[in-house]
Structure 1
């Protein structure tokens, strides 16, 4: 809730209190969202490899609290902001280096805090369950509660920031962070802890190095030629051959003279690896194409989120004489649609499909549906922005960036609702897919991959905006003289192409897994 209250209104905060131009503020917002999204991957790696999820979550929760206190200071202390723009003036004094240092310091700490909490909490929760179906249900409801808390941040806190004061709004964020720390510590003695086994990325690096050192060896067709130890030199009951895919890596598990000690343990860890370590690396390599195919979904969402706030600032946001919808609260529609759709899917639609038709959509099928809804959302955004632009041009108001378009901001609800519905399919699908397919040593990292997808999507969105500004006239600083609709059409076309790429990757992944499994079963039987 604290993160939502701080981030969802950051564009408005930058424009109104740090005198940043509109498109520049959108790009800065993209970078900030990218930072708060990529950090969870590093938090997951630290959790899996060194400290465990509980310690990382506690530390990061405290850091989040400090960051919210710093945000509160930037709003409460006049010297931490540049002087406000003169009424009607377009020339405003920019923030000083010191003022920006405090603001971006708060952003950096917020990123660190988010890095250790968001997806580590998810993995820590899933670790409390043994059954895969229970884990899937937990993922769904975790995302429901995440959406609900984000909705509170994007409505209640954003409203306070816009209509009471920014210091009060950020203060509420700090209070929420304090409650989070206390609540987490109250559950200390109940959590199931996972055993720390060292960095899984080190073992993957060892596989690559060992396979290069043994590149001149010929792969063996006998499972006894490979090293299968599962700990202290103990061999598994039924050793199997490595899979045929990426067979050059199999050499890392070939046993040669001097690789193992007399008790069966590894003597040269950078020359000999277990078959399990080899297969873990192959799993990661096989998933990479599918992982890249989902990045563009976030590119569309990030661009839509930032531009919609700029659009809303020029539209009629009044609901009544006393209440106007804050521009930063529009994202709540996507969050609400996501929460409602997740609840219905988990408790009604999926059980009904299973009961009536014997169909239980796979994670990949859910991701595919989400990709299609993402395309539909971009098309809706393009059509609505085209209408807004036509009204501006009809009133000859393209030269006035402050002119309010006589068009209700509620028009923006449709694309946001489609985005939220799409997220209800593709985000839980991605989480379930990665968590199921990844090796046990990479469970937290598996959920952290979602964070990396989101981060890269925001960074690419920022790069796309920059490229469009350099190569076209679509995005001037005056939003009323822009052609954002053309940007949305561009994204819609690219999203449709990306959907085809996802389908190809999914088919190749399933085919390769099936071939590996069949070959392994046949050769094990022959041996």
Structure 2
């Protein structure tokens, strides 16, 4: 029941988030009068900031506040940001009322500097709130399962699919309801609906409080990791002994509160120097300097974080591709015929409903067909491993960029021939393919970082998934700026030559998509190399879970 409350709450929270995120590029163009490249960069910067905040907030969650309090506090900040955005749009930005519609029939008045400044304050406050909430709620949901129970371990794997499903159901609600408000210039109503959804999400989350399983924070993980590197550097001239001779505390528990002992591994052996005891470490009797001598578990925790970094870096290029669905895909769709079978006009942003459809179809296929079949073949109850799923997702995303490039080539040809504009429905395959790739990359990545992160850094591990999206957005912004900069220095036929122009028919958006496809291919090769080198963590004794011990778990 608690997980059901959490899932419905997450659906509503994502409905509220996408109520701002998906239509933001259109709002910037239609209401704030930004050009295509500037609007795309503004969205990339904002989306990147949403997820970069997740690193800071995950640190607070793991170290001091705990996941439950973190979820509540940052949901409240998110609501305040949305409320400020709604009030600002009502009184200052959307003037006259109903302006900024998708058809461009009613132009908005130029915004004041004060209005623009408060607008950015409101959306970045919402970014801070949502960025802090996302990684904590993912890990908090996973906390409700006991890794020592094989049945609960299987249900935990299904939870990550449910988590991503909830995210996309929230997006689906936006694309089937709210996007039509905004296409008709009813921005204020749309923002108020998002605010109400966020408030209801917080209320539902609080409703499940009596049934939640809560894990106490394990202390500052960054300090522990820094101690390992400092201690290893201080003993850089020492040859570490075999693993069973390294320093570890006695008893079943580790020195890290709420974290079980981790078995020694042979990777990154230079860090074992930090757990090598010398006479100098005991010169004060039993007092040990944590900046000179660390435990095996502490060293393995640091190894785990370091070994996940290459996998994380490889996911950034994918996030650049993912970002295009809320920027370049939307701008491409706006240049196409949005009439749907003569029945109604579909806003360009509403095409992301096919992304959601791709996610839902792939989740169902993966959960009911792929995983059971793979489990029977491999005798592994998890079916396909997280890294293999992520690799498959990178291949699918490459195909999505190729599909977008092909559509753009044909769109420009149709437009140049003076014929009827190409139907926006031709974007459906590229959205659906990207949706399928999300399931393999992001669900696999979320599960990978949660499973491979020791208990003391689980929120930090989940935030790495969000941070890759953040850096992907920033990288996308750099790419668009670089392309625009080159374009401004080249002129052909009296006009500006470039790839992303205000008039897309004069540009070459297809080349942007092809460039991303090439980068994706290179990234895939690098990812395969690091995936083959990766070794996961293990608890100290086989069959003993590295989940937090019972005295650090409590029900409220």
Q: Normalising TM by the smaller chain, what interval?
A: 0.7 to 0.9
Deviation at 1:244, TM superposition (A): 3.7
TM-score normalised over the length of structure 2:
0.84
Unpaired segments ≥5 residues, structure 2: 1-14, 147-151, 488-497, 542-556
1:490 to 490, 515, 529: 515
1:386 to 406, 409, 417: 409
Does the C-alpha gap of structure 1 residues 233 and 487 become closer, same or farther in structure 2, counting only changes over 3 Å? closer
Deviation at 1:504, TM superposition (A): 1.0
Unpaired segments ≥5 residues, structure 1: 397-404, 518-527
Does the C-alpha gap of structure 1 residues 395 and 99 become closer, same or farther in structure 2, counting only changes over 3 Å? same
Is the Cα–Cα contact under 8 Å of residues 82 and 123 in structure 2 kept in the other structure? no
**Which residue number in structure 2 is paired with residue 29 of structure 1?**
43
Deviation at 1:483, TM superposition (A): 0.4
Deviation at 1:141, TM superposition (A): 0.9
Counterparts in 2 of 1:271-290, with a 5 A limit?
A: 271-290=292-311
Counterparts in 2 of 1:249-260, with a 5 A limit?
A: 249-257=271-279, 259-260=281-282
Q: Are 1:351 and 2:372 counterparts? A: yes
Is the Cα–Cα contact under 8 Å of residues 227 and 254 in structure 1 kept in the other structure? no
Q: Are 1:122 and 2:138 counterparts? A: yes
Q: Are 1:433 and 2:448 counterparts? A: yes
Q: What CA distance in whole angstroms lies between the structure 2 residues aligned with 1:362 and 1:160?
A: 42
Is the Cα–Cα contact under 8 Å of residues 378 and 489 in structure 1 kept in the other structure? yes
Q: What CA distance in whole angstroms lies between the structure 2 residues aligned with 1:358 and 1:223?
A: 32
Deviation at 1:42, TM superposition (A): 2.1
Q: What CA distance in whole angstroms lies between the structure 2 residues aligned with 1:222 and 1:480?
A: 64
**Which residue number in structure 1 is paired with residue 231 of structure 2?**
210
Structure 2 counterpart SS, 1:294: helix
Q: What CA distance in whole angstroms lies between the structure 1 residues aligned with 2:341 and 2:406?
A: 26
Q: What CA distance in whole angstroms lies between the structure 1 residues aligned with 2:74 and 2:378?
A: 45
Q: Are 1:59 and 2:73 counterparts? A: yes
Q: Are 1:144 and 2:160 counterparts? A: no
TM-score normalised over the length of structure 1:
0.88
Counterparts in 2 of 1:115-514, with a 5 A limit?
A: 115-130=131-146, 131-163=152-184, 165-221=186-242, 223-224=244-245, 226-229=247-250, 242-257=264-279, 259-260=281-282, 264=286, 266-319=287-340, 323-355=344-376, 358=379, 360-395=383-418, 406-472=421-487, 473-510=498-535
Is the Cα–Cα contact under 8 Å of residues 95 and 109 in structure 2 kept in the other structure? no
Is the Cα–Cα contact under 8 Å of residues 6 and 170 in structure 1 kept in the other structure? yes
Deviation at 1:322, TM superposition (A): 5.9
Deviation at 1:135, TM superposition (A): 1.1
Q: What CA distance in whole angstroms lies between the structure 1 residues aligned with 2:109 and 2:187?
A: 20
Segment of structure 1 superposing worse, 334-343 or 219-228: 219-228
Deviation at 1:227, TM superposition (A): 3.9
Deviation at 1:224, TM superposition (A): 3.6
Does the C-alpha gap of structure 1 residues 365 and 218 become closer, same or farther in structure 2, counting only changes over 3 Å? closer
Q: What CA distance in whole angstroms lies between the structure 1 residues aligned with 2:72 and 2:262?
A: 41
Is the Cα–Cα contact under 8 Å of residues 30 and 302 in structure 1 kept in the other structure? yes
Aligned residues: 500
Does the C-alpha gap of structure 1 residues 57 and 434 become closer, same or farther in structure 2, counting only changes over 3 Å? same
2:85 to 71, 94, 99: 71
1:104 to 116, 120, 128: 120
Deviation at 1:14, TM superposition (A): 0.8
Deviation at 1:450, TM superposition (A): 0.6
Q: What CA distance in whole angstroms lies between the structure 2 residues aligned with 1:233 and 1:167?
A: 53
Q: Are 1:17 and 2:15 counterparts? A: no
Does the C-alpha gap of structure 1 residues 460 and 81 become closer, same or farther in structure 2, counting only changes over 3 Å? farther
Structure 2 counterpart SS, 1:216: coil
Is the Cα–Cα contact under 8 Å of residues 55 and 463 in structure 2 kept in the other structure? yes
Deviations 1:333-365 (A, max 9, x none): 112210221122112332234346757211111
Is the Cα–Cα contact under 8 Å of residues 143 and 339 in structure 1 kept in the other structure? no
Is the Cα–Cα contact under 8 Å of residues 95 and 108 in structure 2 kept in the other structure? no
Deviation at 1:158, TM superposition (A): 1.4
